[in-house]
Amino acid sequence: MASIQDDRGYNQGFKPSPALKVRTERRCQYILDKSNLKEGGRVLEIGCGTGEISALLASKGNVEVVGTDICKPFIEEARKQFKHPKLSYDVFDFNSTNESEFSRIGKFDSIVGNGILHHLYYNLDASLQRFKQLCKPNGRIVFLEPNLLNPYCFLIFSFAPLRKRAKLEPDEMAFTRRFIAKKLKDNGFSDVVVEYRDFLLPNTPTSLINAVIATGDCLEKLPGPDRFAQSLFISATVS
């Protein structure tokens, strides 16, 4: 699958394709459905990359969206591509220890991310506590993450030569449904839901997109086959 790289040389997403467009729109709708946002709500996207999901959230959800990423070139590209009165982008390091960085962005009704939480794997407890600090009372978090039980994800995350070939960051690591559910509960989140979702690959031929979606929708309902989905779709409430 053709990927885009950040300014450090690591793969951080996929190059545009018809399948990726459909995939992104479906994920955006899932975020909106699970965020329980009201009109005028405020959303923080962590690891927004070049800004596609943040832009969709702002246009579809009638909410204020702040898209953040550690990669300055990504943020510059997002600002060029997407304009909306309720959308802004900011260079932001979520692993920063500078408290003023967090206080300046304020509080949010929802914190979301697509393929970013696993980059915080070795700092996950602190990151989850940070989400609670940045969310308003009863705020929601929604994350879409690689599923370690998916054969492709298992291989590239588990074996050093494949990690290098896939240009993964040294600290990123996919996780299992059980692992992230326990982490969320241990850190005081409620209404924790972790689902096996999405069989649509970004490089799926256009003629096969609808068939793959229909097949995937069926597989997601079958205990056993559902575990091989690409992603974990995660949602929880800040208690």
- 166 closest CA partner among 47, 15, 9, 24: 9
Query: Which pLDDT tens digit goes with each residue over 140-192?
Result: 999 999 999 999 999 999 999 999 999 999 999 999 999 999 999 999 999 99
Say if CB 142 and CB 116 are below 8 A apart: no
**With 0-12 CB in 10 A as exposed, 13-18 as middle and 19+ as buried, what is 119?**
buried
Q: Confirm if 146 and 153 have CB atoms less than 8 A apart.
A: yes
Q: Please report, for residues 57, 93, 110, the alpha-carbon distance to residue 35 in angstroms, rounded to integers and kept in the order given.
A: 11, 23, 6
* Nearest alpha carbon to residue 146 among 123, 105, 176: 176
Amino acid identity of 81? Q
- What is the model's pLDDT at position 233? 98
Identify the CATH number of the domain in which residue 173 sits.
3.40.50.150
**Residues 190-217: tens digit of each pLDDT:** 999 999 999 999 999 999 999 999 999 9
**Based on the structure, what is the number of domains in the chain?**
1
Residue bearing the bigger pLDDT, 49 or 12: 49
C-alpha 125/C-alpha 186 separation (Å) is 9
Are 220 and 226 spatial neighbours (Cβ–Cβ below 8 Å)? Answer: yes
Segment 127-143 shows an average pLDDT of 94
Which pLDDT band, with edges at 50, 70 and 90, does 48 fall under?
very high
Nearest 5°: CA angle at 52, between 31 and 128?
45
Boundaries of domain holding 184 = 3-238
Closest CA to 12 of 169, 162, 148: 169
Model pLDDT, residue 2: 60
Q: What average pLDDT is seen over the chain?
A: 93
CA dihedral of residues 95, 100, 105, 108 (deg, nearest 10)? 70
pLDDT at position 234: 98
CA pair distance 120, 143, nearest whole angstrom = 12
Q: 1-40, pLDDT tens digit by residue?
A: 467 888 888 888 888 899 999 999 999 999 999 998 888 8
Number of Cβ within a 10 Å radius of residue 106: 11
